[in-house]
């Protein structure tokens, strides 16, 4: 990775680290304030267009999830120029909910823009892949 790609990747990893630590303000500091924002979550109704919507969603997440742990990335793709970057990453996550440990994969596709010399997330989506043959489009 060249320097801009590495910086964009590090910004995404810092965002994920803040989520793992349930640091809402840290998560929000990774988001753009100079461009329109749009993030798509893993649930059907999770379409976020403001930091306040994300604050509410993350508060809800952290109200029912504990001991969040990201594993090592499995797949990473980063492309960046001086002002715009794309980071696609797949990594495992585990967390506690309702007294039970859950483990799954998360895939994130994030777009970042350069803001005051720092990479900030301005768009993206998260997905949880299903095992082959376990879903239907009917």
Gap between the terminal Cα atoms of the chain? 42
Flag whether 134 is in a domain: no
What pTM was estimated for this model as a whole? 0.91
pLDDT tens, N- to C-terminus, the chain (138 residues): 799 999 999 999 999 999 999 999 999 999 999 999 999 999 889 999 999 999 999 999 999 999 999 999 999 999 999 999 999 999 999 999 999 999 999 999 999 999 999 999 999 999 998 876 666 666
pLDDT value at position 137? 65
pLDDT value at position 130? 80
d(CA 17, CA 12): 9
Q: Which domain holds residue 105?
A: 3-127
**3-state SS string for 106-128:** EEEEEEEEEECCEEEEEEEEEEC
Flag whether 132 is in a domain: no
Flag whether 104 is in a domain: yes
CATH code where residue 63 lies: 3.10.450.50
Tokens of 128: 């949880």
Flag whether 41 is in a domain: yes
Flag whether 137 is in a domain: no
pLDDT value at position 135? 66
Flag whether 58 is in a domain: yes
Q: Residue 45: which of 35, 60, 23, 31 has the closest Cα?
A: 60
Flag whether 135 is in a domain: no
- Does residue 20 contact residue 69 with C-beta atoms inside 8 Å? yes
Phi, psi for 83 (deg, rounded to 5): -130, -15
Flag whether 138 is in a domain: no
Number of separate domains in the chain = 1
């Amino acid at each position: 990775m060249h320097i801009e790609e590495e910086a964009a990747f590090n910004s995404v990893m810092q965002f994920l680290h803040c989520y793992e630590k349930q640091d809402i303000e840290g998560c929000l500091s990774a988001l753009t304030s100079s461009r329109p924002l749009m993030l798509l979550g893993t649930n059907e109704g999770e379409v976020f267009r403001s930091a306040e919507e994300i604050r509410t969603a993350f508060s809800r997440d952290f109200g029912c999830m504990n001991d969040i742990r990201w594993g090592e990335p499995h797949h990473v793709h980063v492309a960046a120029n001086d002002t715009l970057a794309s980071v696609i990453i797949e990594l495992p996550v585990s967390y506690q909910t309702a007294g039970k440990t859950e483990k799954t994969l998360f895939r994130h596709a994030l777009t970042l823009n350069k803001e005051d010399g720092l990479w900030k997330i301005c768009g993206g989506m998260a997905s949880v892949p299903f095992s082959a043959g376990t879903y239907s489009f009917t």
